[in-house]
Amino acid sequence: MNFDIASLQQMLANAWPVISVLVLCSLFSGAIILERWFTLRGAFFDRETLMKRLRKYIQEKRREQLLAQVDTIRKPVGRVLSNLLDAILQKRISDRLSADRLASRLIRSETSGLMQYVTGLGTIGSVAPFIGLFGTVIGIIHAFKAISENAGGGPGVVAKGIAEALITTALGLFVAIPAVVAYNMFTRKIERISEDMELCADEIIESMDFAPAPPKAP
C-alpha cells in the first residue's frame, strides 16, 4: 500500500479536475474574507461613543453643527446620518414618517453594500463539500474499476482510488469550513452595524421638530 511518486502523480492527475475547482474556490474565498475583513473593520463604530459626541449638539439644537460633525464620519453611519440630516434641514422631508422611511432606505442601501460578496462565501461554504463529494465518488469509481481489472489483487489495488476519494473529501471540507465560519461572522457583524445605525438614526429623528401630521379627512 506504499505509494511512489508515480502513483501520487497518477492520483493527482485523476482528481485534478475536482481539485482545481476547489483550489479556485479556496482562492476566491480567501480574497473575499480579506477584503470584507478590512471593509467591515472600517465600517464598525461604537454607537455609545458616537452618540455621546453628538448629543450635545442634539440637546442644544445646533443642527448645522450636528450636520458638520456627521459629515466628518467616514463610515456608513456617517453617510446615513449626513443624508438624513441634510434632507430634514433642507425641508425635503417635513414629517416623522417620511424621516423614518428615508432612514430605512439609507440603512438598507449601506447594509447592501456591506453584504457585497458575503453571499459568495455562503455559496462556497455550501457547495465545496458537494464538489469534494463528487471527487470522492469519482475516486470510488476508479477503485471499483481497479478491482474489476485486477480481481484478487488485494487492498493495494484499490488503495489509489480510495486515497483519491479521501483527498477530494478533505479538500472540500478544508475549503468549506473557513468560508462558513467567515460568512456567519461577517453576517452577524453586519447585522450589528445595521442595528446600531438604526438606533442612531432614531435618536436623531426623535430630536427633530416635525410639524404635526394633518388630521385625517372624515
Least confident window among 37-41, 81-85, 128-132, 152-156 = 152-156
The total domain count for the chain is 1
pLDDT of residue 152: 53
Whether residue 217 lies inside any domain: the answer is: no
Whether residue 146 lies inside any domain: the answer is: yes
Whether residue 113 lies inside any domain: the answer is: yes
Whether residue 213 lies inside any domain: the answer is: no
Least confident window among 50-59, 127-136, 156-165, 194-203 = 156-165
The model's pLDDT over 105-134, given as tens digits with 9 standing for 90+, comes to 999 999 999 998 999 999 999 999 999 888
Per the model's pLDDT, the better-predicted residue between 180 and 64 turns out to be 180
Whether residue 190 lies inside any domain: the answer is: yes
Q: In residues, how long is the chain?
A: 218
pLDDT above 90 as % of the chain: 42
**pLDDT category, 1, cuts 50, 70, 90?**
very low
Who contacts 117 (Cβ-Cβ below 8 Å, separation ≥6)? 32, 35, 36
Task: Look up the domain containing 100 and give its range.
Answer: 5-207
pLDDT of residue 182: 95
pLDDT of residue 9: 59
pLDDT of residue 162: 73
d(CA 9, CA 25): 22
Own/partner contacts of 205-213, CB < 8 Å, gap of 24 or more, are 205/84, 205/96, 205/99, 205/100, 205/103, 207/58, 207/59, 207/61, 208/88, 208/96, 208/99, 210/94, 210/95, 210/96, 210/99, 211/94, 211/95, 213/95, 213/96, 213/97
d(CA 108, CA 57): 26
Mean pLDDT computed over 32-40: 94
Reported pTM: 0.79
Burial, 172: exposed, middle or buried (Cβ in 10 Å; 0-12, 13-18, 19+)? buried
d(CA 149, CA 51): 74
pLDDT above 70 as % of the chain: 81
pLDDT exceeds 60 at position 5: no
Least confident window among 99-108, 118-127, 137-146 = 137-146
